[in-house]
Amino acid sequence: MPVQELNKPIKAVIPLAEHEDIREDLIFNLNKLECLDLTYHDIERCLYINPKGVTKASTVLNHFGRDFVAFGNDQNDISLFKYAIYSVQVGDYPYLKDFADEVIPAINTVIAEKIKLLFEKF
């Protein structure tokens, strides 16, 4: 889709590293809207805001179905990993490991080789 046709945002990110004092009130008040999914990233200290039910997983499932292999590196990949037939964590984000079938280092050549191997397998 051309960027000019994007008339509804699908994600907003609010950096809160220098504003931790407003985090709880902000999340509380945004939750009142009941049309948003809010995720606070402890390491990045950012609040991620999506429309209710819109995630990487919901988008992939909607467009491609359940037959997919997922690569991810962060908290926002957890839902994607839950639905993938196989999931590969790239890097060392600690909270994603429990959902990954495999963990590889964030090295371009290693990632490329893993993509080739999984393309042949699946």
Domain boundaries, the chain: 7-51, 56-121
Helical ranges in the chain per DSSP H: 23-31, 56-64, 78-83, 108-121
pTM higher than the cut 0.85: no
Question: In the predicted model, is pLDDT for residue 104 greater than 70?
Answer: yes
Strand-strand pairing, 46-51 and 12-15: antiparallel
Pick from 81, 59, 78, 61: nearest CA to 70:
81
| The predicted structure's pLDDT at residue 54 | 84
Whole-angstrom distance, CA of residue 112 vs CA of residue 71: 11
| The predicted structure's pLDDT at residue 5 | 64
Whole-angstrom distance, CA of residue 13 vs CA of residue 75: 14
Amino acid at 82: K
Question: In the predicted model, is pLDDT for residue 6 greater than 60?
Answer: no
Give the model's confidence band at 13: pLDDT under 50 very low, under 70 low, under 90 confident, else very high.
very high
Q: Domain 56-121: state its class.
A: alpha beta
CB environment 84-106: b (16+ within 10 A), e (fewer): beebbbbeebeebeebbeeeeee
What the block records as the tokens of 55 is 């995630």
- pLDDT digit string, tens, across residues 20-61: 999 999 999 999 988 888 999 888 899 999 888 888 888 899
